[in-house]
Amino acid sequence: NAGVTQTPKFQVLKTGQSMTLQCAQDMNHEYMSWYRQDPGMGLRLIHYSVGAGITDQGEVPNGYNVSRSTTEDFPLRLLSAAPSQTSVYFCASSRVLNEKLFFGSGTQLSVL
Amino acid sequence: GENVEQHPSTLSVQEGDSAVIKCTYSDSASNYFPWYKQELGKRPQLIIDIRSNVGEKKDQRIAVTLNKTAKHFSLHITETQPEDSAVYFCAASRSSNYKLTFGKGTLLTVNP
């Protein structure tokens, strides 16, 4: 099993550009989520999904969109990138909430 | 929403000593408390978790204790080794929502 696959690993954007971070899991997990990690701030929840067609906002959702058309995929879209979105992004999944979260390898995003 | 405070932010110990990291949470309905370890440049990985119906859980050199009345939980690492050096995150969530809230992390350094 590949587990949680996240692409790209690195990305540089200019202010105002849009992009999609891809996340896929092959473990048939119901729960998928996106976190951003900033120095000294821990991991903050952006959006999450409890199944195909069901998404909801986390702690820091502004500037990001998500969709869940299949169980496997949970892409994160940056609509108009801003320097404040410079961060490391992690996708994570679990069979259900309140069980072990499996993290992807992360995407380091810089917005200039 | 839930707020998780984690202390200390940095911790330095000698190899063989014990290390203790403490977290407090605000939502009395929280019932799941995992700990994640993140080595430099790597993804977070679950090392141990505890549920609210249990006061203590051990796994070899690692233990977690939970005090529901005081709303705090702690990670104990005994006989520390250099490979224990990493950032450790505590987290909390409740069954009725789907949001896992993380503390800001503790950088543990084990000196040989």
- Residues A26-39 have pLDDT tens digits of 999 999 999 999 98
Mapped onto helix, strand or coil, the DSSP state of residue B90 is: strand
Mean pLDDT across B51-72 = 94
Q: Is B101 on the interface with A (CB under 8 A)?
A: yes
Residues A17 and A110: their CA atoms lie apart, in Å, by 12
Q: Is B49 on the interface with A (CB under 8 A)?
A: yes
Beta strands in A8-79 (DSSP E): 10-13, 19-25, 31-38, 42-51, 54-57, 64-66, 76-78
pLDDT band for position A43 (50/70/90)?
A: very high
Mean pLDDT across A97-101 = 89
Of A42, A100, A103, the CB nearest to B105: A42
Residues of B in contact with A60 (CB under 8 A): none
pLDDT band for position B103 (50/70/90)?
A: very high
Mean pLDDT across B84-89 = 98
> Which of A47, A57, A101, A107 is best to mutate for the B interface (most B CBs within 10 A)?
A101
Name the pairing type of β-strands A31-38 and A42-51: antiparallel
Q: Give the mean pLDDT of chain B.
A: 95
Q: Quick check: B69 pLDDT over 70?
A: yes
Structure confidence at residue A96 (pLDDT): 85
Mean pLDDT across A47-51 = 95
- How does B67-100 read in b/e, with b if 16+ C-beta sit within 10 Å? eeeeebbbbbbeebeeebbbbbbbbbbbeebbbb
Q: Is A88 on the interface with B (CB under 8 A)?
A: no
- Supply the DSSP symbol for B28: T
Structure confidence at residue B52 (pLDDT): 87
Q: Which helix (H) or strand (E) holds A96?
A: none
Of B49, B93, B102, the CB nearest to A43: B102
> Max CA-CA distance within chain B?
44
Structure confidence at residue A97 (pLDDT): 80
- Residues A56-79 have pLDDT tens digits of 999 999 999 999 999 999 999 999
Mean pLDDT across B79-104 = 93
Q: Taking CB atoms and an 8 Å limit, are B43 and A103 in contact across chains?
A: yes
